[in-house]
Structures are given as structure tokens and as C-alpha cells.
Amino acid sequence: MPRVLRECVGLLRRYCPTRKPVVVGWWYRLPWYADACDNGEYYLIRLSKTLTNSARVDVLAHEWAHCMAWSRERTLHGPAMFLAYSRTYRVLIDGWRPRSPMRWQNN
């Protein structure tokens, strides 16, 4: 995994926690840019090797948000996912470093 992506994953683990561990990997033959799944023990994010450097960070933020929201809702792109995406985006793109963990309204 490229150094930039390793750094991004470290930031996400610190500032955007998930309920299960997240494994991020590269795939040569994905029919899309990325996907994420819950295999029961951990979340798996698969990124296509065809992504450009700038797109990798954006796509990783989006997929990580899915992992954060899955315990909150079953809708693929629902309100909880976009709330989580706003946090992952701000951490990775804007350089924001929150002082407290994310607080969900409905625990």
C-alpha cells in the first residue's frame, strides 16, 4: 500500500473509529473503483489499483464512512453514512483533527 494511503488509514483509525477493525487492500480487477463489505469479524475495503493518487484519498474517505455507519443503519447511502463521510472527508482532505470521538445521536 502506498505511504500516503497508509498515513490516511492511520488518521482514519485514530479520528474516525469503527466498531470492527478495517482492512484496506488493493485489487487489480475490480469492476468499479472501490467497495466495502462486512465479513462478520472485520470490514474490508477494496480499492482499485487504477485509481489516481488524488482519487484514492477521496474514495477511501467514502468507503470508510460506510464502515462507520453500518452499525447505525442498513441504508447504503443514508443520513448516518453521510454524517460519517463529512467527518472522514474533513479529517483526510481538510486536515481537521477532532478532539473527541464522534458522538451519534441514537446510540
Question: Is 103 part of a structural domain of the chain?
Answer: no
Closest CA to 59 of 41, 36, 28: 36
Q: Give the model confidence (pLDDT) of 38-65 as tens digits.
A: 989 999 999 998 888 889 999 999 999 9
Q: What is the mean pLDDT of residues 68-74?
A: 83
CA distance 101 to 107: 13
Contacts of 63 (CB under 8 A, 6+ apart): 34, 35, 36, 45, 47
What integer pLDDT is reported at residue 57 of this predicted model? 92
Using an 8 Å Cβ cutoff, are 60 and 9 in contact? yes
Least confident of 21-25, 39-43, 48-52, 70-74: 70-74
In a domain, 37, yes or no: yes
Average pLDDT, whole number, for the chain?
Answer: 89
pLDDT band for position 101 (cuts 50, 70, 90): confident
Task: Domain of residue 72: give its range.
Answer: 3-94
- Report yes or no on 99 lying in a domain: no
In a domain, residue 57? The reply is yes
CATH number, domain at 60? 3.30.2010.10
Count of domains for the chain = 1
Quick check: is 102 in a domain?
no
Q: Report pLDDT digits (tens) over 75-87.
A: 788 899 999 999 9
The contacts of residue 30 (CB under 8 Å, 6+ apart) are 46, 47, 48
Asked whether residue 28 carries a pLDDT value surpassing 90, the answer given is no
